Homo-oligomer: A and B are copies of this chain.
């Protein structure tokens, strides 16, 4: 028989549990011990907001396997051949003698666990702002199973009616939606001007802000939490701009990696978290690390980033297990993919943003397009907005931001996969995607987006996104809008508040003479299809100082002319 390999895993939620499960399957000589400081193992923390919102009917489904066995120590014993010790907090690592000292929380006793290979999957912890009132009752973070169950119990009591969610990131938005669905009055505050700013930027953020409003959730951007009021339990929050009454406060301002153990063991730490190689090995070859406590390579920029995500943690766990078992396996990096549902909208990104692309030395160019997710003749056809990012010189695809009420996840995944394959925009436009009307348009929105980017890169059309038109307004630039929609459409859907002229596209060839030649013309239609045809017709009439509004009115989130209230 093989010699036993003693593997100690610190942390048994995501990466740690995955490491144990795979290792047990592929490495019979592994003798696996998990040290988990909490009471719970391997639970689905990404499901917590959906538990609170009532979508997860059976809370056991977050802690049990698909075959309805609780993932507790017994489960790990029988199914993963792993000794999983809860309530065991690892206190220190002795790298020289290769052991971990853990404290048993119930007894205070310390125990020493010798290892041949050690895995650090200590995860992250929510950031708790140091403000008055933060320790009041009914002030929560939503991170552990305990948090989720505590909030769920609190919500079941009848006197919880008003919630404040602090932080409009991924978890904050999911939590806000959940609490609203649960029947609460919900207010979100965030230090940045718009929700999900770091994911989708301001141009798309305005749509999410509007979606919150439509669904009765108040959003206060550029607002700082100063204090939580109350004597025993929270009764409200004070920001730098107002007071808001609240029966419950959820603080969701981000998380921090748990690095104390790695730091005291003097493992190499990067800018944000533990450094590893592609095999997830730390600076000590017998110590692996994964999950929220490590930095990853961004596979596009080649820079180390910190991407605390359940999916990343699971991928790490697999690579760690493979390497301990002696299989060749590498974690090739993240692409910065994330997605969130906000009521009827979905929003996400993958790859770099304009800013991170510039920082990484690319020459990025962006193109915004709006297209229906399935053909307009089908029921539930719905517009998506895609902002593609590419490198001007190599034409390599660098990233995308996508929002809409339609199926954005498919398009994000296609782009994430295209990034993995180092596709250029040209190749992206030529992928043989699955087409049938219930699933996509004949040319998928991703194909359209790539084609539009090609047109822009090739200089076939000048265009500008809504944010740039907005900037033109703010700078006081002189321009004239040419709106080529029909007057019925304008009546029905409203128009921009800038000076302009309306010539329906069908009449443009005949009426081009009406258009002033001394000003820049911004051509506008519903989704930019007609704007492009108009652009061509205008070219033939000798115009050159012009640009089409990318994504058309569909993508314009900055408000309409006042006269226009409703159809």
Contacts and interface: CB of A to CB of B under 8 A. Distances in A.
A25 B438 contact: no
A47 B337 contact: no
A192 interface: no
B436 A378 contact: no
A495 to B, nearest CB: 15
B55 A379 contact: yes
B431 A416 contact: yes
Interface residues of A, number: 108
A67 B526 contact: yes
A154 interface: no
Contact of A423 (B25, B174, B420, B430): B420
B442 A318 contact: no
A112 interface: no
Contacts of A44: 375, 377, 437, 442
B505 A315 contact: no
A66 B327 contact: no
B421 A417 contact: yes
A198 to B, nearest CB: 16
A348 to B, nearest CB: 5
A78 interface: yes
A435 interface: yes
Interface stretch (A57-65, A137-145, A155-163): A57-65
28 contacts: A25-B536, A28-B539, A50-B377, A50-B437, A51-B377, A66-B372, A66-B526, A67-B489, A67-B526, A80-B533, A311-B432, A311-B442, A311-B444, A315-B443, A318-B451, A332-B430, A337-B435, A338-B435, A339-B435, A346-B438, A350-B434, A410-B410, A413-B440, A416-B432, A417-B421, A420-B427, A420-B430, A420-B432
| Cβ-closest 7 pairs across A and B | A421-B421, A61-B377, A311-B435, A335-B432, A339-B434, A410-B410, A409-B439
Given A62-B377, A66-B529, 7 more contacts: A26-B536, A55-B379, A81-B537, A332-B427, A337-B432, A420-B430, A420-B431
